[in-house]
């Protein structure tokens, strides 16, 4: 593993990827699970991180996943761990409520977050995450609530353009949104292939570039699952759960996620701030909640990216909790999770 900058292109929403835990060695080095500790894997998935953490003797682990399929498939590991693993269906933004309900307290030794869609979900055509495999335009991680098809077929052109621009960093957002609105007036868009084909016609890419629908699918997935809002809530929740010396480890896969994580750690460690430089009347920032180890972000080395292409875009960041009390979600990092508020048009 090495510190540095990762490749922005992750496993595309049109690609297939065998599930392999990303940056596993680096995660364990950052998390430092020790015998008898209490840890939280807030994104259980296929259980790769959980199984590795539980190799430490007498470790207790709370694991969360919003996907009922992951909860079902993880029951074998729950049985194998004989009481050391508690697996709950919940969003990672709900970690504090789950820990409190289970009576686990707020003295966790470590929390790990692997942000983004799992390769298992991408590989299932019926989940609608991938445009390589034609399937229903769904994208719901929790398999409930508003789907991608609902957004595509009901949102205004302005809202669609904002979703594509802010959550997908799609420069052709308005052109694609206009094409979607025109097409759905003829017939609703209900499949991944239909949407991908429409985007390809509306905003074609050069042969050397990623598929033109990649950013559109990313943006819709983020919107459907409120991924950035969940990330903000998870960061704040982990701060509340960790005891002094506890470690928060976050693995992100695209620039939007990493920007929020990086800014969160910078704000909550008071990086770059000095009390002596406060302006007259300026309120001092709260005490630093984290110390940040050097050498961040950590990215995969060439050997890991050869074994697991999904690791190419992964970035790991870690913070060590101080004695300072937890703070609510505030600051620039939290504002990046939502679309900008627009004034209603006057009739």
Residue with more model confidence, 3 or 94: 94
Residue 52 CB neighbours (<10 A): 18
Q: How far apart are CA 27 and CA 316, in angstroms?
A: 8
Report the Cα 284 to chain-centroid distance in Å: 31
Lowest average pLDDT, out of 214-223, 315-324, 330-339, goes to: 330-339
What are the tens digits of pLDDT across the range 143-156? 778 999 999 999 99
The yes-or-no verdict on residue 83 having pLDDT over 60 is yes
What pTM was estimated for this model as a whole? 0.88
Strand partners, 319: 248
Per-residue pLDDT, averaged over 7-25, amounts to 57
* Residue 249 in this model has a pLDDT that exceeds 50: yes
Question: Which range among 72-81, 180-189, 294-303, 338-347 shows the weakest confidence by mean pLDDT?
Answer: 338-347
For residue 5, name the pLDDT band (cuts at 50, 70, 90).
very low
Domains of the chain: 2-119+227-275+283-335 (3.40.50.150), 133-225 (1.10.150.170)
Reported as a single tens digit per residue, the pLDDT across 253-270 is: 999 999 999 999 999 998
Q: State the average pLDDT over residues 63-83.
A: 95
Q: What is the mean pLDDT of residues 229-251?
A: 97
Q: What does the pLDDT read at residue 16?
A: 39
Model confidence at 344, pLDDT cuts 50, 70, 90, reads low
Q: How far is CA 265 from CA 33, 59, 91, 232, 258, in A?
A: 21, 27, 21, 12, 11
Counting other chains too, the contacts that 67-70 makes at CB distance below 8 Å and 24 or more residues apart are 67/118, 67/121, 67/141, 67/142, 67/143, 68/142, 68/143, 69/120, 69/143, 70/44, 70/45, 70/46, 70/118, 70/120
Spatial distance between the Cα atoms of 237 and 115, rounded to a whole number of angstroms:
15
Given a cut of 60, whether residue 68 has pLDDT beyond it is: yes
Q: Which residues contact 235 (CB under 8 A, 6 or more apart)?
A: 248, 250, 260, 261, 264, 329, 333
Task: Using the predicted structure, report yes or no on whether residue 31 has a pLDDT greater than 70.
Answer: yes
Q: Is the pLDDT of residue 103 over 50?
A: yes
Residue 268 near residue 290 (C-beta atoms within 8 A): yes
């Amino acid at each position: 593993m090495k510190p540095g900058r990762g490749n922005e292109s992750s496993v595309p929403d049109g690609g297939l990827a065998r599930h392999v835990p990303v940056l596993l060695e680096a995660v364990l080095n950052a998390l430092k699970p020790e015998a008898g500790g209490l840890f939280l894997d807030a994104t259980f998935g296929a259980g790769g991180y959980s199984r590795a953490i539980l190799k430490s003797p007498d470790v207790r682990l709370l694991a969360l996943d919003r996907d009922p399929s992951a909860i079902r498939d993880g029951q074998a590991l729950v049985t194998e761990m004989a009481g050391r693993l508690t697996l709950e269906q919940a969003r990672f933004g709900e970690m504090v409520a789950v820990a409190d309900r289970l009576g686990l307290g707020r003295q966790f030794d470590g929390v790990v977050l692997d942000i983004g869609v799992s390769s298992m979900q991408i590989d299932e055509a019926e989940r609608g995450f991938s445009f390589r495999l034609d399937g229903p335009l769904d994208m719901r991680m929790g398999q409930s609530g508003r789907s991608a098809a609902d957004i595509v077929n009901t949102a205004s052109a302005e809202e669609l353009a904002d979703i594509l621009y802010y959550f997908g960093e799609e420069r052709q957002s308005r052109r694609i949104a206009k094409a979607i609105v025109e097409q759905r007036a003829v017939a609703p868009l209900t499949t991944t292939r239909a949407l991908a084909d429409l985007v390809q016609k509306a905003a074609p890419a050069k042969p050397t570039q990623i598929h033109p629908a990649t950013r559109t699918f990313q943006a819709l997935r983020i919107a459907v699952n409120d991924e950035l809002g969940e990330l903000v809530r998870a960061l704040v929740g982990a701060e509340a759960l960790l005891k002094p010396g506890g470690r928060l480890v976050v693995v992100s896969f695209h620039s939007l996620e990493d920007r929020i994580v990086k800014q969160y750690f910078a704000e909550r460690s008071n990086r770059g701030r000095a009390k002596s430089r406060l302006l007259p009347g300026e309120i001092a920032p709260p005490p630093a909640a984290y110390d940040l180890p050097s050498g961040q972000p950590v990215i995969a080395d060439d050997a890991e990216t050869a074994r697991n292409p999904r690791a190419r875009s992964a970035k790991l960041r870690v913070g060590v909790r101080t004695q300072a009390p937890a703070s609510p979600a505030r600051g620039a990092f939290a504002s990046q999770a939502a679309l900008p508020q627009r004034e209603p048009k006057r009739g």
